[in-house]
Amino acid sequence: MTVLLDIFGFLSVLLRGLQMAFEALTVGGVIFLTGIARAVRDEALPRLLTRWLIWAALALAGTQICAVTVNSAILVGSTDMGLDELIGAGFWISGMLVVAGTVAVGTLVRTRLARIAAPTACAMILAGSVMASHSVARLEHRYVLVALTLAHHLASAAWIGGLPYLLLALRHSQDTRTAGAIVHRFSGMAMASVAVLAGAGAALALVYTGSISAITGTTYGAMLLSKVVLTVLLLVFGL
């Protein structure tokens, strides 16, 4: 059982990381398509971007299903919980929200309903993801932490998740003016996203760590420092 729990812990961390990556690509792709690239006249470019968005959504759905399956298997194997009890658990609800949102993105992003359906689906994805975060489990300042976590996820998706779509758009765009307009719009959104990301991240770090010593002396602090370093590197890349 000890070995099983160790494997479960490793898989949980791995799947959570993949979920965050594919969530950023999915939500960031929707933001880029509906906000940044909406004025693109070349029909081939939106089709290329939507193709990548659909693959990101499928990857997020698959990863989320794997995560729910792993959590369900470990609970069934270590407790007396039945299927009806699992379905009502928080991780099941959050997982199904994410899966439903990704299915909606994948099926509706190329339809006339995309402008309304895709942002709504992203709201479902973000709601499900935030439900599985530390903020929901906190008893103190829960609603403030949930709002900060939501802002953190949205800003990181708009900036980091949108970067691959920006590179694809610049690489395949045939019109210099269109490329310039895309870069101008994305730069403005990226600067706003960085400000929100830094502000929300600093507030969350202050609540979760509580002190400077906790940043250097805990696992969460080490992860936080690594995220700061990666953010600085991305800012240098953006510059």
pLDDT in tens, 42-52: 556 677 888 99
Percentage above 70 pLDDT, the chain: 84
Q: Is the predicted pLDDT of residue 130 greater than 60, yes or no?
A: yes
Q: Which of the two residues, 179 and 190, has the higher pLDDT score?
A: 190
Domain coordinates in residue numbering, the chain: 2-238
- Whether the CA torsion 145, 20, 83, 58 is positive or negative: it is positive
How much is the pLDDT for 53?
Answer: 92
Cα angle 136, 142, 146; round to 5: 65
Mean pLDDT value of segment 102-123: 88
Closest C-alpha to 186, from 201, 207, 164? 164
Q: Which two tokens stand for residue 59?
A: 């990857």
pLDDT, residue 40, reads 61
> Is 24 or 225 the better-scoring residue by pLDDT?
24
The model's pTM is 0.85
